[in-house]
Chains A and B, each alone.
Chain A
Amino acid sequence: MNIFKDAGHLFRFAGLFVLAFIVFLVVRGYVVPKSFGQYGHYRGDAMSDIAAHPVKFAGHQACETCHTDKADEKSKGKHAHVNCEACHGALAKHADDPAAVTPTKPDTATLCARCHTATAAKPKEFPQVNPSDHSNGVPCETCHQPHNPAIADAGGAK
């Protein structure tokens, strides 16, 4: 009176299922990254991967550690809150190795106009000029020093 007498084929079938489940667990162990689920339903190491992207803009703090004279000059004028690389471009490579990478001086004709060209869309209190009739082709830096753009002779106008 053995109830399992004719159930051998069922056990073999069940065995196949168990085997498939084990294979699933092993394969899953291989393909799911170790940090998946560390913080949520994503790969935790993705954050450190993204954080490993190289920095291109060194940040004004880096510039000011060496260029203290320019930082002082700039802090007294209207451009005090314009950071260095906003005009000089991305210079993290120069900050890492000042001798190997030397920055080129930006062209004031395009640079100044980028912010200060008059247009109705800009805030009214922002200093704006029409570049074609403002200086008759005289370069901006003839009158305005970019680090402290107020004209000294005129008693610090704009």
Chain B
Amino acid sequence: MNLSRRHFLVLAPAAAIAWKAVSAGTPEQSPNYKTADHWWGMLIDIPKCIGCGNCVRACATENDIPDGYFRTWVERYHVEDEDMTNPQVISPDGGKEGFPVAAEDAGKYFFVPKMCNHCADSPCTQVCPVGATFVSPDGVVLVDPKYCLGCAYCVQACPYGCRYIHPEKKTADKCTLCYHRITKGLTTACCENCPTGARQLVDLKNPKDPIHEFLRTHPVQVLKPQMATGAKAYYNGLDGSVR
């Protein structure tokens, strides 16, 4: 009686550990794509943006985004001469169908495309209580819909307002930087459809990517740099009034 209980106590944990090691297995790997070789970001060239909304429509089509929700959207700023700190910002339906015609007026107008900044030190991943959102080894902030509880902590934590709770899946949803495209050698849907080249997918680990030259020679900013998020959406020609 005593002997069998002792044997059981010794053998059962050993069996559990052994079984766990066996069940771990080897996960699938994409054959030609190595996550360690890439560090993705986005270049957004404000002076080239014409506010056509092609990126917003392309994103919605590519990623099956429900109406009224946006992984990317375009804002139109109107900054009056003597009121630089109070820009008037509009984004009708995310800029999907363009913008009302702006009359010549005091001050300046410009478009600002917005999207997930794919932060290297992203606040949204830090608050996730279940490990459902993460920065991938190639620098893309992703959500695992099978793990997400829909608690929306991340939606609150994102300083750029880039996340939402998907109305059908009831999980957090956001820009994947078209992960299904960039891992196949394609560019993102928004970049593919931008008629003026105002958006460009950049790979900061690729020494031949023109982004390195661009970052050296242009006045480039990220949004909310004071929050130290390590944002990788680089804005060229960004006005100081942009929030």
**A: which residues have CB within 8 A of B?**
15, 18, 21-22, 25-26, 29, 34-36, 38-57, 59-60, 79, 81-83, 85-86, 89-90, 114-115, 117-123, 126
Contacts and interface: CB of A to CB of B under 8 A. Distances in A.
B136 A121 contact: no
A57 to B, nearest CB: 5
Given A83-B192, A114-B98, A47 B35 contact: yes
Contacts of A26: 16, 19
Contacts of A57: 58, 61-62, 181, 186, 189, 192-193
Contacts of A126: 50, 196
A121 B99 contact: yes
B19 A42 contact: no
B27 interface: yes
B52 A115 contact: yes
A88 to B, nearest CB: 10
B243 interface: no
B54 interface: yes
A85 B27 CA distance: 35
A45 B180 CA distance: 13
B1 interface: no
Contacts of B136: 39, 47
B102 A119 contact: yes
Given A90-B58, A119-B102, A120-B109, 11 more contacts: A15-B5, A34-B23, A34-B25, A53-B180, A55-B180, A57-B58, A86-B54, A86-B194, A86-B195, A89-B61, A115-B50
23 contacts: A22-B16, A25-B13, A25-B16, A29-B16, A34-B24, A36-B131, A39-B137, A42-B144, A46-B146, A47-B142, A49-B144, A50-B142, A50-B179, A57-B61, A57-B181, A57-B186, A85-B58, A86-B192, A114-B52, A114-B98, A118-B101, A121-B102, A122-B50
A45 B146 CA distance: 11
**9 cross-chain pairs, A with B, having the tightest CB-CB distances, nearest first:** A121-B109, A46-B144, A42-B134, A53-B180, A120-B102, A35-B27, A82-B195, A41-B131, A121-B102
A118 B23 CA distance: 63
A18 B9 contact: yes
Interface string B53-92: 1100010011100000000000010100000000000000
Contacts of B133: 42
Contacts of B105: 120
Contacts of B196: 81, 126
A86 to B, nearest CB: 5
A28 to B, nearest CB: 8
Nearest to A89: B61
A65 B104 CA distance: 44
Contacts of B168: none
B103 interface: yes
A60 B192 contact: yes
A38 to B, nearest CB: 6
A15 B147 contact: no
B186 A59 contact: yes
Given A47-B35, A121-B99, A29 B142 contact: no
Nearest to B22: A29
A43 B179 CA distance: 16
B51 interface: yes
B157 interface: no
B210 to A, nearest CB: 14
Contacts of B16: 22, 25-26, 29
B13 A45 contact: no
